């Protein structure tokens, strides 16, 4: 065959078959509320879970699998999952059967880290997620909910390690540093949001950091 010179590209497509999980845990049958949520991913390796998340657009038919995949990657502290987790920051998991019935699951009240599983997963991955989290805060393409959740991740990672005032101060520094007015605006909003995450014992220091005090 004679033809034009062209570099061919192979497209590697990875698919994971989904099952529509319909089995829900019964109250008190263990702390892992994701048991039985998605049989096809129960034994999947972290790389397979990442490929699944990279390819998926969450909807009602796959939300149990998405939630389970995120949960497993967070528990494994799998750093290669940071990118898809950031993309799914505004993904809200479906309710459990206990929640549908109006009663709490074991493990205490459910915060943003639980309702939006990517938040919890990124919290567990820790500091290595921070550059991506900052990019998500700055990006125009990030939804307001995802940005709010990104701020929650940012603050939680610092809460566990260096303290929340430092987290606020670093956001403020990014706001000052950037020359892009749109990004500056988004960071300004993130600083305001970050202040709501500060513990009473650190509120004063957080406010000072938000005002641009030296770290």
Partner 1 sequence: MIGGLWMTGANLNSSIYLRNNVETDPVTVTPVLYLSNGTSYTLPNVTLQPAGTAIIDINQGLLLQGISPLAPLSGYAEIRYIWPWDPFCATIRNVDVAHSLIFTYAMRPSTPTPLLMQHMPPTAQTKTIAGMWWKQESNITGFVALANISSQAANVTVQVTDNQANTLALHTATVSPHGMKFLDLTELQSAAATQGGIVITTDGTTDTLIVNGGLEDLSRGYSAILPFVTPPAQPLPPSPVSIAELGLMAGAADPMMLFPAATTFTPYSVLRNVSTAPVSVTPTIWWMQGAAAQSAHLPAIQLLPQQTQSLDVLSMLSSAGLKTYNGNFNITFDAQAAPGSLLLAAGSVDQTYTYVFEVTPRGVAESVSKSLQYWSTGNGDDTMVTVWNPADEAQNFVFKLFFSGGHYTLPLPLGPRATRTFNISEIIQNQVPDAEGNTIPASVHEGGAKIAGSLDDTQHILVAIDAGTYNVRKATCGEVCVNCDGVSEAMAVAPQITVGVGGQDQVKLIGTYGSGVQVDLTSNSTWTSSAPNVATVNSGLVTGVSAGSASIGGYDPFEAIQAGYICYGENTQFTCPEGVQATSEGSILSVTFSDIPYVLVGQTANTNATVEPTNNATPISLNVTSAAAVVSPTGTFTTNTGVTVKGLTVGGATLTATVPDPEGGPSPIAIGNISFAVTSAAPTATVTQRTSGTVSSDDIASSNYKTTVGTTNLGLIIGSGTSTGCFVGFETIGSITPSTYAGNVTLHRTIASGATYTNSTSTGSPPPGTDDTSDPHLRADNPQSSNPVGKVYDLDATGPQPPKVDGNTYRIRTNFYAYAALPGGTIISSQNYSFYVRASCTKTASGYQFVNDVPGDNQIGAGTTKTTWNLQ
Shortest CB 201 distance to partner 1, Å: 5
**Torsion, CA 79, CA 167, CA 193, CA 122, rounded to 10:** 10
**Should residue 35 be labelled a site residue for partner 1 when binding is judged by CB under 8 A?**
no
Selected from 31, 127, 177, 192, the binder of partner 1 by CB under 8 A is 31
198 in contact with partner 1 (CB under 8 A) = yes
Among 113, 137, 146, 186, interactor with partner 1 by CB under 8 A: 113
Q: Is 191 exposed, middle or buried (0-12, 13-18, 19+ CB in 10 A)?
A: buried
Residue of the chain from 15, 17, 57, 201 that contacts partner 1 (CB under 8 A): 201
The reply to whether 36 sits near partner 1 by the rule CB under 8 A is no
CB of 161 to partner 1, least distance (A): 11
> Residue 196: helix, strand or coil by DSSP?
coil
**DSSP character at residue 43:** T
Among 34, 37, 78, 158, binds partner 1 (CB under 8 A): 78
CB-CB neighbours of 5 under 10 Å: 4
Which member of 10, 17, 57, 179 binds partner 1 (CB under 8 A)? 10
Q: Which of 94, 75, 86, 64 is nearest to 153 (CA)?
A: 86
Q: Which is nearer to partner 1, 137 or 151 (CB)?
A: 151
List the one residue from 14, 20, 23, 45 that touches partner 1 (CB under 8 A). Answer: 45
Contact (CB, 8 A) for 140 and 147? no
CA 178/CA 184 separation, integer angstroms: 6
Separation of alpha carbons 206 and 213, rounded Å: 9
Site track for partner 1 across 79-108, x = CB under 8 A: xx------------------xxxxxx-xxx
Q: Indicate which single residue of 20, 23, 26, 176 sits in contact with partner 1 (rule: CB under 8 A).
A: 26
Report, in Å, the least distance between residue 106 CB and partner 1: 5
Cα 5 to Cα 1, 8, 201: the distances in Å are 12, 9, 67
Which candidate, 165, 171, 163, places its Cα nearest to that of 130? 171
Q: Which residues bind partner 1 (CB under 8 A)?
A: 1-5, 7-8, 10, 12, 26-29, 31, 45-48, 77-80, 99-104, 106-115, 120, 123, 152, 155-156, 159-160, 164, 196-202
């Amino acid at each position: 065959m004679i033809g034009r010179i062209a570099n061919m590209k192979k497209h590697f497509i990875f698919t994971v078959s989904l099952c529509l999980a319909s089995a829900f845990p019964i109250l008190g049958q263990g702390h892992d509320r994701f048991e039985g949520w998605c049989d096809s991913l129960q034994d999947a390796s972290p790389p397979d879970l990442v490929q699944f998340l990279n390819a998926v657009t969450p909807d009602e038919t796959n939300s149990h699998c998405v939630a389970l995949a995120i949960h497993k990657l967070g528990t494994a502290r799998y750093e290669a999952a940071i990118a898809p987790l950031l993309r799914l920051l505004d993904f809200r998991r479906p309710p459990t059967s206990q929640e549908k019935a109006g009663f709490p699951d074991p493990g205490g009240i459910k915060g943003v880290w639980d309702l939006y599983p990517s938040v919890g997963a990124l919290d567990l991955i820790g500091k290595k997620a921070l550059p991506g989290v900052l990019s998500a805060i700055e990006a125009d393409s990030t939804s307001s909910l995802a940005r709010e959740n990104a701020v929650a991740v940012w603050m939680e990672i610092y809460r566990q390690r260096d303290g929340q005032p430092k987290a606020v101060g670093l956001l403020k520094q990014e706001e000052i540093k950037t020359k892009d007015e749109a990004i500056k605006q988004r960071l300004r909003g993130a600083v305001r949001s970050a202040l709501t995450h500060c513990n009473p014992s650190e509120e004063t220091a957080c406010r000072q950091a938000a005002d641009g005090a030296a770290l």
